[in-house]
Amino acid sequence: MSERAMNRVIEIFKQHGGVMATKEVIKAGVQYRTLYEMRDQGLLERVSRGRYRLGTLPPLSNPDLAVVGLRVPRGVICLISALAFYELTTQVPHHVYVALPRNSEKPRLDHPPVHFFSFSGQAFSEGIETHQIDGINVHVYSPAKTVADCFRFRNQIGLDVALEALKLYYRTSDFDVGDLMKFAGICRVEKIMRPYVEAIL
């Protein structure tokens, strides 16, 4: 591979923020052979199946969320993974918890391990924030929405996790009881949450 060809590929990646899908690279006129040769030389790094990034970029700070952001663009990081992102839990998530619209197809990922949850209506669409993680747009539910979701899914993740999240969220400068109870209503857990919220106020 000539240095000119290599530099051309690097420029193409830079124009796409340093991260590209294999099909985008091929569409840009790069041959598979060139792509794999640059990978083998460490000039490109395989992020996940069908996704590559420039090897000169800083190491991924949160590779699991970055990969999910790339591979599951309609997904929203939720529950324990969102709590960990906002530092609202002492739990260490063993999966990436991802919300998808009800009846949507669940993509297959070889890595990281993902636990999908089906959300519908406003329970899916409300409270979504977009965060840049390693240059990749990742959708994450807001802290208030995440706390409400944890009460909604308390039987799956544990009431203790939801209560800890509520207490830690209360201690943050972003705490907003109106916002919290709005999402409690959307998630249909207002009656369950109200006594716990009143107890900490």
The domain locations on the chain are 3-54, 63-200
Q: DSSP states of 14-68 as a string?
A: HHTTTEEEHHHHHHTT--HHHHHHHHHTTSEEEEETTEEEETTSPPPSSHHHHHH
> Is pTM, for the whole model, over 0.85?
no
129-165 pLDDT per residue, tens: 999 887 788 999 999 999 999 999 999 999 999 999 9
- The H or E element containing residue 133 is strand 128-133
What does the pLDDT read at residue 183?
A: 98
Is the pLDDT score of 73 beyond 80?
A: yes
- On whether the CB atoms of residues 185 and 170 are closer than 8 A, the answer is no
Is the pLDDT score of 1 beyond 80?
A: no
Nearest to 183 by CA among 131, 102, 126: 126
81-134 pLDDT per residue, tens: 999 999 999 998 889 999 999 988 888 877 788 999 999 999 999 999 999 887
Is the pLDDT score of 170 beyond 70?
A: yes
Place 60 in a pLDDT band, splitting at 50, 70 and 90: low
What does the pLDDT read at residue 143?
A: 97
33-48 pLDDT per residue, tens: 888 899 999 899 887 7
What does the pLDDT read at residue 189?
A: 97
Distance CA 34, CA 189 (A): 54
Question: 3-54 domain in CATH 1.10.10?
Answer: yes
What's the mean pLDDT in 43-58?
82
User: Phi and psi dihedrals of 96, rounded to 5?
Assistant: -90, 120
